[in-house]
Structure 1
Amino acid sequence: MDFTFTEDELAFREAISRFLMTEAAPEALREIWETDTGRSPELRNKIAEQGLTALSIPEEDGGLGLGDVAWSLMTQELGYYGIPDSLADTAYLAAGVLTARPQTDNLERNQQIKQWLTAIGEGSIRVAVGHPVNPLVADAAVADLLILLDGDDVHAVTRKDIDVVLRPSIDSSRRLAKVSWQPSRDSLLASGEVGKAIQQQILNRGALSAAGQLLGLAQRMLDLSIDYVAQRKQFGRVIGSFQAVKHHLADVASKIEMAKPVLYRAAKEFDDESVDSSVYISQAKIFCAEAAHLAAKNGIQVHGAMGYTWEVDLQMFMKRTWVLESTWGDVSFHKARVNEFVFDANNKIGPGQTFGRT
Structure 2
Amino acid sequence: MRFALSPEQLDFGTSLRKLLDAGQTPAAVRAWASGDPRPGRALLRQLAGAGVLGLAIEEAHGGVGAEPIDLVVAFQEFGRAAAPGPAVETAAAIPALLQALPQPDLAARWLPDFADGATLGTVAFATPGRGPVALDADIADVVLFVDGDKLCTARRTGPVRSIDPARRLFQVAADEVLVEGERVLDAGAAAFDAGALAAAAQLLGAGRALLHASTEYTKQRKQFGKPIGEFQAVKQKLADVLIGLDLAEPLLFRAALTTTEPTRSRDVSAAVIACGDAAYAAARAALQVHGAIGYTAEYDLSLWLTKVTALRTAWGTPDLHRARIARALRDETLLERALRGTA
Q: Same fold by TM-score, threshold 0.5 exceeded?
A: yes
Please show how residues 73-112 of structure 1 align to structure 2 within 5 Å.
73-103=73-103, 110-112=104-106
Please show how residues 333-348 of structure 1 align to structure 2 within 5 Å.
333-344=320-331, 345-348=333-336
Please show how residues 218-233 of structure 1 align to structure 2 within 5 Å.
218-233=207-222
Matched, 1:276 2:263: yes
Please give the secondary structure, in 1, of the residue aligned with 2:119: coil
Please show how residues 192-207 of structure 1 align to structure 2 within 5 Å.
192-207=181-196
Query: In structure 1, what is the Cα distance between the partners aligned to 2:313 and 2:189?
Result: 17
Q: Which residue is equivalent to 2:123?
A: 129
Q: Which residue is equivalent to 2:340?
A: none
Q: Which residue is equivalent to 1:322?
A: 309
Matched, 1:153 2:150: yes
Please show how residues 2-41 of structure 1 align to structure 2 within 5 Å.
2-37=2-37, 40-41=40-41
Q: CA deviation at 1:79?
A: 0.7
Query: In structure 1, what is the Cα distance between the partners aligned to 2:85 and 2:25?
Result: 17
Matched, 1:303 2:290: yes
Name which of 167, 174, 194 aligns with 2:167. Answer: 174
Q: CA deviation at 1:154?
A: 1.9
Please give the secondary structure, in 1, of the residue aligned with 2:256: helix
Q: CA deviation at 1:57?
A: 1.7
Query: In structure 2, what is the Cα distance between the partners aligned to 1:178 and 1:242?
Result: 48
Preserved CA contact (<8 Å) 1:94 1:128: yes
Q: Which residue is equivalent to 2:56?
A: 56
Preserved CA contact (<8 Å) 2:31 2:37: no
Q: Which residue is equivalent to 1:354?
A: none
Q: Which residue is equivalent to 2:278?
A: 291
Matched, 1:331 2:318: yes
Moved more, 59-68 or 300-309: 59-68
In the TM superposition, what whole-angstrom CA distance separates every residue of 1:313-353 from its partner, at most 9, and x where no partner exists? 2111011111111111111111111122334432549xxxx
Unmatched 5+ stretches in structure 1: 104-109, 350-357
Q: Which residue is equivalent to 1:216?
A: 205
Name which of 110, 119, 124 aligns with 2:113. Answer: 119
Q: Which residue is equivalent to 1:107?
A: none
Preserved CA contact (<8 Å) 1:256 1:291: yes
Q: CA deviation at 1:235?
A: 0.8
Name which of 155, 160, 169 aligns with 1:162. Answer: 155
In the TM superposition, what whole-angstrom CA distance separates every residue of 1:132-169 from its partner, at most 9, and x where no partner exists? 248421011111112212231223x2xxx624312232
Q: How many residues align?
A: 335
Moved more, 195-204 or 283-292: 195-204
Preserved CA contact (<8 Å) 1:33 1:39: no
Instruction: Label 1:347 to 1:292 Cα distance change in 2 as closer, same or farther (>3 A).
Output: farther
Instruction: Label 1:277 to 1:323 Cα distance change in 2 as closer, same or farther (>3 A).
Output: same
Unmatched 5+ stretches in structure 2: 338-342
In the TM superposition, what whole-angstrom CA distance separates every residue of 1:172-227 from its partner, at most 9, and x where no partner exists? 2111101123343xx22xx3321111111122112111111110111011001001
Preserved CA contact (<8 Å) 1:26 1:313: yes
Preserved CA contact (<8 Å) 2:214 2:290: yes
Q: Which residue is equivalent to 1:353?
A: none
Query: In structure 1, what is the Cα distance between the partners aligned to 2:232 and 2:175?
Result: 59
Query: In structure 2, what is the Cα distance between the partners aligned to 1:227 and 1:25?
Result: 19
Q: CA deviation at 1:46?
A: 1.5
Q: Which amino acid aligns with 1:120?
A: F
Preserved CA contact (<8 Å) 1:219 1:256: yes
In the TM superposition, what whole-angstrom CA distance separates every residue of 1:20-39 from its partner, at most 9, and x where no partner exists? 11114424432443344586
Instruction: Label 1:337 to 1:95 Cα distance change in 2 as closer, same or farther (>3 A).
Output: same
TM-score (norm: length of structure 1): 0.87
In the TM superposition, what whole-angstrom CA distance separates every residue of 1:232-267 from its partner, at most 9, and x where no partner exists? 001101000011111110010000000000000011
Query: In structure 2, what is the Cα distance between the partners aligned to 1:24 and 1:347?
Result: 52
Preserved CA contact (<8 Å) 2:96 2:187: no
Query: In structure 2, what is the Cα distance between the partners aligned to 1:303 and 1:218?
Result: 15
Q: Which residue is equivalent to 1:69?
A: 69
Matched, 1:43 2:37: no
Please give the secondary structure, in 2, of the residue aligned with 1:54: coil
Please give the secondary structure, in 1, of the residue aligned with 2:173: strand
TM-score (norm: length of structure 2): 0.91
Q: Which amino acid aligns with 2:186?
A: A
Preserved CA contact (<8 Å) 2:312 2:318: yes
